[in-house]
Each structure stands twice: as C-alpha cells, then as structure tokens.
Structure 1
Amino acid sequence: MRSVTTLLATLALAFAVSATAEATPGSGVTGTILKQKTVGDTDYVLREVVIQPGGYTGWHYHDGTLYAYVKAGTLTHNSADCGLDGPYRRGVAFTEPSDTVHIGRNLGASPVVLEVLYVLPHGSPLSQDAPNPGCPF
C-alpha cells in the first residue's frame, strides 16, 4: 500500500510540474477593459491591449470569437502550425476564431496597441493558456 501511495504522490507531482512547465505566459502585455455587457448567454468585452516592444501574449486560445483593430504598431501573429497569419499593421482589423491556439508578438520598436472586442460565452475567461505547440519562438 505504501508503494502505491508513493507512486500516486510522484505522479501527482510530475503532472503538476509538467503542467506548470508547459504554460506559456505572456510578457510585456497589459490590458484595460473599456466596456463590458452581457446579453443573454453572451459576454461582450471591449478591451485595449498594449504589447511592448519584445513583448508577446504567450500561446493561448479564446472560448469565443475576437474582433481586433490595430491602433498602433505591427502585430506578428502566429497560429499553432507555426505559420504566420499576420502581420497586422496599424489600421488593419482581423478576427480570431474560437478555440484556435495562437500567439501575438511585437517584434517592432514601438508598442502595439489593439482595440479588441471579445464575444464570449457568459462567464468565460478572456483567454486560456495553451502550451507551445512546438514552434521555435
């Protein structure tokens, strides 16, 4: 019985460590909620997101669709297949479909400023962390 308990404790620790190691948190990103409203079972959140030079969102996905507008800078945007589905420059609007793993990066010398409308199932977080799918960046 003692060896089973030890095995289970070891497995629990291994899963906890690997889950932490796989997370890809962002760096140099801030967000300010400008407005939010719930209509029926849908949350609408308007948020300004700023990514500093060299900053990145970390790999993540959303439970709903996002509609974004680039107010300043250039956003480099990659999908889970490591392909480039940006860059998105100032004045460009784009969408992020739900449940699609991606990362946004600022490879430029000035901040990227985005106006983002999140359309999410009620109570969903703005984003969910995802592990790096194996991309070299």
Structure 2
Amino acid sequence: MHRTLRTAIAGAVTAAALAVGGTAHATPAGPGVSGRVISQTTANGTDYILREVTIPPGQATGWHYHDGPLYGVVEQGTLSHYDSTCGTDGVYRTGDTIQEPAGVGYVHIGRNLGDTPLVLVVLYVLPHGSPFSQDAPNPGCSFE
C-alpha cells in the first residue's frame, strides 16, 4: 500500500508541475539529517514538495513545526514521533503512513532510535515560499 500512496503522491505532484511549471531546490538539513527534493510545484499560492528525508541511526529532526500539513510514508526503518508534551504520539514502521498538521500548535520531533537509516518520503503542502519546517525550542523534554 505504501508504494501505491507514494506513486499517487508523486503522480499528483508531477501532474501539477507539468500544469504549472516550477523548479526544485533543496534547503540545508539539520546535523546528520539529509533531504532530497524529488519534485516541486506551486499552484494557487501553495507549494507541493515531494522530498526524501534520511535520518541516521540515533539522530533526530530537532524540534519543529510546519506552516502547512505534511503527509509521509516510511520507506525504511522506524520513526519514533514525539509531541510537545514529551510523549510519543506514534511509532511508524516501514510501510506506515504519517500525517502532521500545520502550525505552531503542533511542535514535534522525529527520532530514529533504530540501528538502520530511517528513510521517509514526504509531501509538504506549504504556503508559497515557506521553509520545510520552522525550528522550535525544546519544550523541556530530557531526551533532546
């Protein structure tokens, strides 16, 4: 099923890119975390960006939030996801999908607690020109 979702997301972004045009570009990632833009387009003031994100074993995304919703598929590894209460709000394994709501009210962190790289394919739906994420301070959790 995750391949089907990935194919559907990639198809939607590619179709929008062909209809509207646009260029892909990457922004710097946090230490140990890398990202690669697969496809990007803008339509009606919204950026649709399909990106592959890799988090090495023992690493994390850092505390952040997004200006628009995010939809992802775990391609490899396990994502341990925490919200601003320092509690886990999900553990996602290969093939699982994840959705993150938009806004400063949803500060969170993704961690790779496993021993293999974590690879996510993520669709960002952002107001035009917004960064992939906005940094946020640690809400007081002892693990980051």
Q: Shorter chain as normaliser: what TM range?
A: 0.7 to 0.9
Q: Structure 2 matches for 1:1-137, cutoff 5 A?
A: 26-99=30-103, 100-137=106-143
5+ unaligned residues in a row in structure 1: which ranges? 1-24
Contact 1:26–1:55 at 8 Å: present in 2 too?
Answer: no
TM-score (norm 1): 0.80
Contact 1:80–1:133 at 8 Å: present in 2 too?
Answer: yes
TM-score (norm 2): 0.76
How many residues end up aligned between the 2 structures?
A: 113
Displacement after TM superposition at 1:83 (Å): 1.2
Displacement after TM superposition at 1:27 (Å): 3.1
In structure 1, distance between residues paired with 2:121 and 2:33: 13
Deviations 1:38-58 (CA, angstroms, capped at 9, x unpaired): 001100000000000011000
In structure 1, distance between residues paired with 2:36 and 2:117: 15
| Structure number with larger C-alpha Rg | 1
In structure 1, distance between residues paired with 2:125 and 2:77: 24
In structure 2, distance between residues paired with 1:83 and 1:96: 15
5+ unaligned residues in a row in structure 2: which ranges? 1-28
The structure with the largest strand share of the pair is 1
> Which portions of structure 1, spanning 4 or more consecutive aligned residues, are displaced by more than 6 angstroms?
none
Identity %: 63
In structure 2, distance between residues paired with 1:125 and 1:109: 29
Displacement after TM superposition at 1:28 (Å): 1.6
